[in-house]
Each structure stands twice: as C-alpha cells, then as structure tokens.
Chain A
Amino acid sequence: MKATLNIQRGALGETPRVETFDVAFEHGQSVLDGLRAVRRGVDPSLAFRFACINANACKECMMLIDGKVDYACTVRLKEGTTTLAPLPKKALIRDLVTEIAPPDERLWR
C-alpha cells in the first residue's frame, strides 16, 4: 500500500513546481508522518515546519491539504494522492514553510 504526495515546492521568487513522492502507507499515519518519511527516504531538502510531531501543541504544521487549511499532524494520510501546498495568505519562505510568526517575533519586522 502506498500514499502519494503531490507537493508544491520552491522558494519565494522562484516559479512554484509540483513534485510527486510515494511513501509506504500504514493505517493511522498522519500527513506529517508522510512528509517525514519523504525527508528520511527520498529528499531531505523538503522544507516544512513542525516541532511537537503529533500532539497538535505547537500549531506549526499548518498548510493547505487537498485545498483546505489544516494541521499536517492531525490529518490522516490516505491511500492514493494527497496534494500539499503552503498557506496561501502567508508570505512564502520555501516549499511548505511560510512566515507564520507574529511580526514582533521576527528578526526582520
């Protein structure tokens, strides 16, 4: 069984491209599990935010999952294709990482 992730990639100022990754699918896994599997097994340069892994405590892994804003740590991975993109209303940094910190918690304000 496999899950396919179509991921929008690229840094600010680059033309966005979509890359496709297949990861082994196990029932119960989260989308974040799938992203971490991509980094471990295929492409470690894939950028996404997370700190707490799956407790939904840090609130950092918010992204666009199949067109809907949600947390990668709580949405279950599914068999078949899942489309991932950065948050549309936040400034893009790279890949799935956007500028989500409040302005007064940034180096450049």
Chain B
Amino acid sequence: MTASGSGATHLETDVLVIGAGGAGMYAALEAARNGASVILADRSLIGRGGATVMAQMTVAAALGEQTPDHWEHHFADTLNAGRGLCDERLAALLCEDGPHRLREMDAWKVGWAREDGHIKQAQAPGHDRPRCAYVDFLSTGPAVSKTLRTQLNSADGIRRIGDLVIVDIALDDGEACGATALHLPTGQAVTIAAKAVIIATGGLTGLYCRNSASSNMGGDGYALALRAGAELIDMEFVQFFPIGHLAPRLVGMDPIMWDPFRYKLGGKLLNSEMREFEEDYATRDKRSDGTYVLTRDLATYAITKEVEAGRGSPAGGAYLSFQHVPEAEIRAAFGPVVDRLKENGIDLAKGPVEVAPIAHYHMGGIRVDDLMQTGVPGLFACGEAVGGANGANRLSGNAITEAFVFGARAGREAAQRAKAATAMWTADAARPTLDLLQSASKRDAPNPAATVVKLQAVMADDVGPFRTDAKLRKAIASIAQLKADIGDTPLSSAAAFDPVLVDWLDLRNMLQVAQSVAVPALARTESRGAHQRDDHLGLDEAWRVNQIVKLSDVGVDLRKVEPTSGKAVA
C-alpha cells in the first residue's frame, strides 16, 4: 500500500472484483484459482449485502437428482420464460454449467436439502419438472453466502476490503485499468490499479420503494459500466415478484418468503371476496400461457388487475391463505420459521396474510459476450449485473445459478487477461474522480435521503410493472428534475462514514440508471414479459429485439439489435 501524490491510498492487484455477493465471491475464488491476485471490494461488509444473502428460495439446475433431467430442458424453459429475448449463449452457459456449480457448492458443504439420499429438487413455476435445490428452512441465500465466505477465508491471494464504495472505473486510453473508491470509515479516497475489473454489483431493485433486495442495490454497477463506455441491454425489463409480503408488518424476514411456502404447501391467492382468482387469468386472459401455476409476470398482472377492479385486500394487494393446510403440516415444512411468524403476530393456520407485487430482480444489465467481457477492454461483469441471459422474464431459480456460473467464468477470464496484460495504471486515470470527491461540499441542498425516497416513488408509480406513454414521459421529466436538484457537486456532512456523501454518490448512479430504464421502456410499444404497457397490449413480433443503451453527450443513446443466438462453450 502506497500513498500516491494526491494523498489517496493506492492499492495494486491483478483482478479487482466490485461487489461481494454470490457472483463477486465466486469470481474472486475462480480468479485466485487461476493464479491471479485479487481485491474483492464491497461497499458493505463482505458477503453480507446485495441480493444473494437475502435469497431464501431456490436454485435451478438440471442435476437430475429428483427426476431425470438434461440441461437442454432447463435451457428450453429459460428461453420460453424469456419471451424471445434471451441471449442464447448466456442462457445455455447458465443451464449447462449450473449443475457443476451446484455440485461444487455441495462439496463445499452448502447443505442442499436432501431426501432419500439425493438432493431434493422442488418444482417451481415455469419449469417442466422438479429442478430447484434449496437449503432448509428458508436459508438458501444465507447458506450460500456463508459457504462462499468460508471458501474465501481459506483461499490464497484474495484481499477482502469492506466499507469501500467504488465511485468510478479508471480508464487508460479506453481500457479499464482499475478504479477510484471512497473508504467509508475514514472518508479518504483510494485508488486501485488492476489489470482486469469485474463488476458484480447486482441489480437495481433499490430504485423502487418496495423491493426484495438489500437497500444498497441501486444499480451502481450499471452506472459504473455506462460511464466507462460499456453498453447496457434489456434495461426496461424489471421483474416484479408477485407475492411480496405486504401486511401485517413483518420484521426480521425476507419479504419474498411466501414462494417456498407455496411450493411446499400450496397456498391460495384470494381476492377481497375470498375467491381464488389465478385461474381466471390462466384460462381467460390472452396474455396467459395456459398453465395453472402462473409465471411471475402473469401473477403480477393478475393481482394488479384484481386490485384495480376493487377486489384487493385492505392494504392494496391479495390475500394469501394457508388455512386449508393442517397446522402439523405447516410446522413440519417450516419448523422454526413458524415461531418467527408468530412473533410477528402471524398464524398461518388461523388467518391469511396480504401480498402484493414487489421489485425483485432485473433481467437487463451490462452487455457482455460469452466470456463475460463488456465492450470496454479489461472490464467484465457477472451475476445479476449482466443482462441478456433471462430475456424479458426470469425463470425462478435462475438468479443464484447465474451468480455462480457467470461469477466463475468472469473470474477465470479476468485472471487470463491479467496474466497477459501489463500494468496500465496512470495517476491521470483516477484524476477526474479524485477531483469530484475533493469538490464535495457542505451546503444548503435538498436532503439526499429524501431525494432517494422521491426517486423510488417515481419509479414505483410511473416505471412499475404496468406502464403507459404518459407515465413514462412524466417519469423521465421527474428524473431530470431530481438530477437538477442534486447538482453536479457532491454533498457532504462529515469525514467519517458520511451517509450524505454516499446518498449523493448513489443518486448520481441511481438517476442515470433510472433514465436508462425509463427511456427504453418508453420506446418499447408492446407488452412482453415483465414490460407491460397498458397502452400497447400484447406481443408485437416486430419488437422481438433487444434495446441497447449507451451513454452519449446528450444523454442516453438507444439502438435495437437482434437477440443473440448460438451456444457458448461451457
């Protein structure tokens, strides 16, 4: 560690991994396994933030443990759910390499639930057979995070640094050569020279007021990639999880916990007339795929339409009832979780809970090739931060799988590049960002914590699951106004652990990313998967294209490309 001329701490490594969720931890392990020195940086604690640790659910892979399976069946289901927009190379990679990664995690003692000596695989909507492994009870994400943290502890060549906010990718002649960061505990700038940089910062659900991931997932990796000159793809496709917990207030639990309950116990979705309504939409609605168990986009549609028709639950969603399930069965399936629910005043045998759609996952993201390379040499991405594998709608269970598979591949490829590359770091590469941080000032300005909430309301109200031309134009104008409100100069309030500066830096990213969602959403005049336009119902074959977002001098540039076909070599 040396001090550079600017007074900033300077670090050097072969591979810098940004984000320590499932994808980032896997990338770091695989890069180190391929001989690279690694810095694994996270704005929060290592392996504690992001989406992975929050996932209580399932991990899909064609293990063939429950029932015979082949990765091509999983691939077919993934493409089907993606509504014609999947990057087939990425989807094939996810499905073909998935089983290897789940077995590797098994060898690392993640503790996949077992039955009769084999890994138990549950049937989830959209899958043609039982394919989803999990860890009891509702512990998949925490178990995955803990397992990867344990591997990191014993791996050689990986330096883990938490409380480090990456502010910008450093570029030398258009190539990534490291990054500039803010060290939260001291408020000092840190520069990091790296021969390859991997963005593993997850998705953007933090842009929405009701969301199921960690609060620090506001799409910062997308903004880092955009400003570095990389392209984003499919940004208009935000997945809403249909049965996010709504009421009564539940503390200490993940709001998407009801899905495993439904897999195991059934569970009835009821409207205010206490009538099941899913079948209405499965059989009658023209958007239906005809199956009884609705995929996520259709279930979101069904609940929203029931609420609009005045048949919603008191808090504005639907009832989810397990009252038809014997109490002993509930206890057998969920053990200690039943007591945690009781502490929250919820007794599933006695009454229903209320659920409503909640921002859950982002199908879009950074555009990469089948080696996880962006268009910027030296810059890689993996996990949810990558767009394309899941097209217009993600199949349940694919998110953790892609974190493993894409993380491993990005780690391996970044290590290869680092071996071949010579150091390109120059102090100039960090200069613009160091100047930005240096310019931070205490001044009269809107409360940035309140501005974040305003932006989340704009996104929920006008760029939610059901969109119109008028709403999207209103959102784009609101985003521009919020941008003007916060200004070009960072706000600060203190040296050590300054949440005002962090909010300002987050807003710089979030507003750029919000615009990158709203602009392609406005352009796409059809309804497909998670992008539903009330003013353009139904699929339009002419729109079987991906939209690419790139930063330009005037804002964001949009163009259309044909979905990528073909197969990557796993």
Contact = CB atoms under 8 A, between A and B. Distances in A.
Interface of A: 11-12, 27-30, 36, 39-41, 44-47, 50-60, 71, 73-74, 76, 93-95, 97, 99-101, 104-108
B254 interface: yes
B190 interface: yes
Chain A interface SS verdict (over half): loop
B499 A51 contact: no
A94 B249 contact: no
Contacts of A29: 249
A78 B434 CA distance: 44
A70 to B, nearest CB: 11
A74 B249 CA distance: 11
7 contacts: A11-B494, A36-B449, A45-B499, A47-B499, A58-B49, A93-B185, A107-B186
A93 B497 contact: yes
Nearest to A59: B48
B160 interface: yes
B493 A44 contact: yes
* Chain B residues touching A, range: 35 or more
B447 A44 contact: yes
Chain B interface SS verdict (over half): loop
A52 B215 contact: yes
Interface string B43-77: 01110111001100000000000000000000000
Contacts of B497: 47, 93-95, 97
Contacts of B185: 93, 97, 99, 106-107
B32 to A, nearest CB: 15
Given A52-B53, A107-B161, A73 B45 contact: no
B44 to A, nearest CB: 5
B252 A73 contact: yes
Interface string B482-510: 00000000000111111110010000000
B254 A44 contact: no
Given A52-B49, A106-B162, 6 more contacts: A40-B450, A41-B447, A44-B500, A52-B214, A55-B252, A101-B45
B251 to A, nearest CB: 5
B493 A101 contact: no
Contacts of A51: 44-45, 48-50, 214-216
Interface in B158-195: 160-164, 183, 185-186, 190
Nearest to A100: B45
Interface in B226-280: 248-255
A12 B9 CA distance: 21
Residue from B216, B494, B495, B499 with most neighbouring chain A CB atoms (10 Å): B499
B529 interface: no
B12 to A, nearest CB: 14
Contact of B161 (A45, A97, A106): A106
A45 B496 CA distance: 11
A58 B44 contact: yes
Contact of A74 (B186, B190, B252, B448): B252
A109 B455 CA distance: 37
A60 B48 contact: yes
A93 B162 contact: no
Contacts of B130: none
B325 interface: no
A58 B319 CA distance: 29
